Amino acid sequence: MNRISHWIDGKVVESNSGRSAVVYNPATGEQSGAVDLASVDEVEAAVAAARAAFPEWRSTSLSRRAEVMFRLRELVDANRKEIASMLTAEHGKVLTDALGEVARGLENIEFACGIPQLIKGEYSEQAASGIDVYSIRQPLGVVAGITPFNFPAMVPMWMFANALACGNTFVLKPSEKDPSVSLYLAELLAQAGLPAGCFNVVQGDKVAVDAILEHPHIAAVSFVGSTPIARYIYETGTANGKRVQALGGAKNHMLVLSDADVDMAADAAIGAGYGSAGERCMAVSVVLASESIADELVAKIAERIPQVKVGPGNEAGNEMGPLITGEHRDKVRGYVDAAPAEGAAVVVDGRDGVPEDGFFLNPTLLDHVTPDMACYRDEIFGPVLSVMRVSGYQEGIDTINANPYANGTAIFTRDGGAARQFQFDVQVGMVGVNVPVPVPVSYYSFGGWKASLFGDTHMYGPEGVNFYTRAKVVTSRWPDPATSTIDLGFPETR
């Protein structure tokens, strides 16, 4: 049985906590390994290693830090198929989707390669007579990342690439559901030349999470997950004096206006709703269809669903794999079970024809959904697409803005004026115009509004650099000692 342990101070460390969790192959439903669950003492050991490594790493030149990122970039690129295979084995997503995850994570490492440019400060010569003022950005110290099961390679790369490049040391607590890739990334970082102790992995559950949130020597915590846990992470972390960015859940809408290309919108709904079995915080889970084209759009989505090939992620040709666990599959299925009693129409029933083995649920399409239904209110996080019919633009925008989640949204239209007004009116952090999953490229930043984000800083990109550093302003004077005098007045610049 494969045992997945911790990575502390540059090496694999097996746990002595006496606790472990089962790791499954979601395509078969069988156990594939066991992951150690850290004790508080083991979290302490990881933080101690990171603290010990920090002084040398923060004093390492920017050029050297960039060199490590460049080497890491080459190693991840060379081993992307191996990483993707690990993702498929433990998460269940198909290989093409897993390769896409690696590619998007790699973009963040590429961004971090530019750290000498990204971390430059500002300088004002002669701010006052003989006085110069300049600003610099310095690392925080030991920082931590708590990452979700749905992107076990990409989301850690969102965090640690910028954090390490800025001069911090890092402690990662990955999801216990698919933990193996975290150790593989640790090995690649070591091969890239990152000193021991700069990157540590503690496998674990709530015990490890709470130890991180309460640890006095962790300066900042990054998190991606559900809204209830994001709120807990934010409130607990900030109560313990930490800087926290906590990305929560989503209920992403796609507004399709009457002038839209209906075939294009139907294709987009399939990809955005069922890709990665809907286990994406940027998945479209609600299509707001203008009444005049709603019947046509629902019919076109329904006729495309049978073309989606569902099966084990490691088999060529499959486009959608299983859900992460049997428990989660049953929870998602429960929303489909309840939909008819609430008044929704099950147009395509994903409970039918599922493979006997594994944690599968086929793509499901619900129509005539209303805001009071559980399938609309909750983040389902599975391959269930709901269609809500709206009179047009204004009802669509009002529906989106009334929702407590505000992660991503999209509009499909041929009207440039409507699209421009939409991006102005909509109260959501990431907006797509004829783009169903508007995940920003690495040189912008990722994050939603309202209940989709706790904290003031979005993930990766320029805001990621700011999150992992703090500003310092220096005012300097190098006077001629012969002219030095005592002045008790308030400093003036004129």
Q: What is the DSSP-derived secondary structure letter of residue 459?
A: B
Q: Which residues contact 81 (CB under 8 A, 6 or more apart)?
A: 99
Tokens 């990342």 appear where?
145
CA atoms within 13 Å, Cβ hemisphere of 30: 8
Alpha carbons 463 and 479: distance in angstroms, whole number: 38
- Tell me, rounded to whole angstroms, the distance of Cα 25 from its chain centroid: 22
- What is the phi/psi pair of residue 399, to 5°? -65, -45
> Which tokens go with 187?
């090995």
Q: Which residues contact 212 (CB under 8 A, 6 or more apart)?
A: 43, 144, 146, 171, 173, 202, 218, 221
Alpha carbons 455 and 55: distance in angstroms, whole number: 28
Q: Which residues contact 396 (CB under 8 A, 6 or more apart)?
A: 253, 255, 257, 288, 290, 390
Alpha carbons 430 and 444: distance in angstroms, whole number: 11
| 281 a catalytic residue | yes
Q: Which residues contact 448 (CB under 8 A, 6 or more apart)?
A: 247, 248, 250, 405, 406, 407, 408, 428, 429, 430
Alpha carbons 443 and 153: distance in angstroms, whole number: 19
Pairing of strands 11-13, 30-36: unpaired
Q: In what order do the strands lie in the sheet with 345-348?
A: 345-348, 364-367, 384-390, 284-290, 252-256, 408-412, 430-433
Selecting among 113, 166, 198, 281, the annotated active-site residue is 281
Task: Give whole-number Cα distances, 7 to 79, 220, 320, 462, in Å.
Answer: 20, 20, 32, 29
Burial of 337 (0-12, 13-18, 19+ CB in 10 A): exposed
Task: Give whole-number Cα distances, 429 to 95, 146, 234, 341, 394, in Å.
Answer: 29, 21, 19, 33, 19
Element of type H or E holding 124: strand 122-128
Alpha carbons 121 and 137: distance in angstroms, whole number: 7
Task: Residue 88: name the closest of 316, 332, 285 by CA.
Answer: 316
Q: Which residues are catalytic?
A: 281
